[in-house]
Chains A and B, each alone.
Chain A
Amino acid sequence: MRWWERDPWLELAQVLLRNPFRTLLSSLGVGWGLFMILITVGASNGLEEGVKADMGNRVKNSAFLWGESTSLPYKGYARGRGIVLTTMDVAFLEENATTLEAVAPRNQLGGWRGGNNVTHGLKTAACGVYGDMPVYKDIDPIVIMEGRYINERDLEDRRKVAVIGKRVRQLLFDREEQVLGSHIQIQGVTFTVVGVYRSQQTGEDAEESENSIFTPYTTFNHAFHMGDRVGWLSLLIREDVPGDTAVAEVLRLLKAQKSVHPDDPRGFGHWSMAEMHEEMTTVFSAFRWVSFVFGGLALFAGVIGIMNIMLITIKERTRELGVRRALGATPANIVVQIMVETLTLTVLAGLVGGIFGVATLEALDAFLAASEDNGIFRHPHVTLDVLLTALGTMTVLGAFAGVLPALRALRVEPVEALRT
């Protein structure tokens, strides 16, 4: 076929438009298949973005580590000994760990989501109260809305200052009230508010985070009688070091320092953002593959539909094909004609499905962007390479679908034209 000429395409349009309803129905399957691929891949992308955004802009190379009870006896100690980290261990790590950017000890009043009575005037609130180092802001970034974060001077002087979350402010202060410089009582100890922050996370994590109060680590330990105990360590891992390598080094150092058996799987608990991130990435790439496979199967079914309808039309067009042969069409002419018809039908159907798919994702994206609620699902989209892969697959499948009808058309002999 000389594709740059008008005739073959006119011919094609005539054939396809001869029975427009049937053409539409038979191409529906392929369109739907491509639509499905785009929607599912787009949705899983959206979910991935949502979840990752929900994990916040918490720095990816952060890890958390705390003491637990041991499970092996070592150096005269019995198993089941509880390990308690102290300020000395922090200094030891700062000195000896080569894979860390920073070590920040943290303490908390109560457990996770433990509420503590905080008051301001007549108002009370239940918040999480933490003792923190200035560097913690680099590990779990927050946005300072007013005032400042904890600094080194606060730490040195054990100043009784507090940085409160947006939610705490809502609970304890009137809308117009001056917050900075006012006093709050945490378990009876008076602190001066020096800053207000909001979270970069979304959903429940943000709620929890904005319902917290940060105080200088030294002040906290002094005021709440923690001595030199450390609740847990926040670690900022060097950019060039993989998360698990750094965690392994820290564990090795701390096990030696705290006389824990080197092979003891317990003794310390840890949680690493890097590991979490890797897991998430794996889960979502699996998700995308599943979308592809199922969408591909739908596409395949659609292509079979097109092949089927082409086989039927060949049967119907036996006489036409015979006449064409009698008038001088070579077998090659006929094969090309049927292949091009099938391929065009498939690709057109796929394009329509693809356009609908992209349009739907765009609409969904616009809708989500417009709504204030930053849920777990955001910015559903497909990348260009997904789109091109889908279209490419469809073209290959279309060519595949054309083979059988073309062979069937070849079997039509020119003598058919003379049958009456």
Chain B
Amino acid sequence: MIDLLGITKTYTTGAQSLQVLKGVDLAVETGELVAIMGSSGSGKSTLLNILGLLDGYDEGMYRLDGKNMAQLTERRAAELRREMLGFVFQSFNLIGFKSAAENVALPLYYQKVPRKERLRRSHELLERVGLLEWADHLPSQMSGGQKQRVAIARALAAQPRVILADEPTGALDSTTSEEVMVLLKELNGDGMTMVVVTHEAEIAAECQRTIRLRDGLVETGAHV
């Protein structure tokens, strides 16, 4: 599903330039649940940005579902993001003035799905994550765990090929973290490919494989 070959990325600020990724090779197979670990500064955020098509890379090759992701325009990247990728963020990133159902329906809005169909699917997904009765609540009326489950439902809305989760339990206590992990594993069990970026060993332990990053290179776990 995901193939990275010799990916490099350098950030230049003024006269200084910093090579964050120094040739990353890795592969994620369809249906896998993979954790990416690494200390801060190891380049895991940058890697996630590149995997999520939120940022470009300098050299190397990135193939997502067999398609080359080189030299994308902003517009094309946006299209690919909404068709192929679902995001789960550490701080949930729900839109505060929209209800849970509307938040879940948002990716479908950008896919030009008619409103009725959108709301039907968002209710289905909320039921899937066990929050149907919270459909009309605003994020501010929910707990952290509930918010993250809404965010996961949102990530699923566009029926992506891969879900990218950035520290999905980083803002949650251990009980709710466990609930969220159970949900993610259930979804993986249904066949969804997932990449979870984390620095918590317990979370990584629940994944099938851990890719360790160190100083811009993959240390272990690059392939199955």
Contacts and interface: CB of A to CB of B under 8 A. Distances in A.
Interface in A310-326: 319-320, 322-326
B81 A326 contact: yes
Contact of A327 (B74, B110, B115): B110
A329 B112 CA distance: 11
B87 A417 contact: yes
B110 A329 contact: yes
A313 to B, nearest CB: 12
B115 A320 contact: no
A14 interface: yes
A174 to B, nearest CB: 80
Nearest to B94: A323
Contact of B54 (A14, A320, A326): A326
Contacts, number: 81
A327 B82 contact: yes
A328 B160 CA distance: 11
Contacts of A6: 115
A331 interface: yes
Interface residues of B, number: 35
Chain A CB within 10 Å — which of B82, B93, B95, B158 has the most? B93
Nearest to A327: B107
Contacts of B166: 418
Given A332-B75, A418-B89, A420-B90, A327 B81 contact: yes
Interface residues of A, number: 27
A413 interface: yes
16 contacts: A15-B97, A323-B95, A324-B106, A327-B81, A327-B106, A327-B107, A327-B154, A328-B83, A329-B78, A330-B74, A331-B75, A414-B52, A414-B77, A414-B78, A415-B49, A415-B55
Given A328-B78, A331-B75, A417-B93, 11 more contacts: A320-B95, A326-B87, A328-B107, A329-B78, A330-B75, A330-B79, A331-B78, A414-B54, A418-B49, A418-B166, A420-B89
Interface of B: 45, 48-49, 52, 54-55, 74-75, 77-79, 81-83, 87, 89-91, 93, 95-98, 106-107, 109-112, 115, 154, 158, 166-167, 170
Interface of A: 2, 5-7, 14-15, 18, 319-320, 322-333, 413-415, 417-418, 420
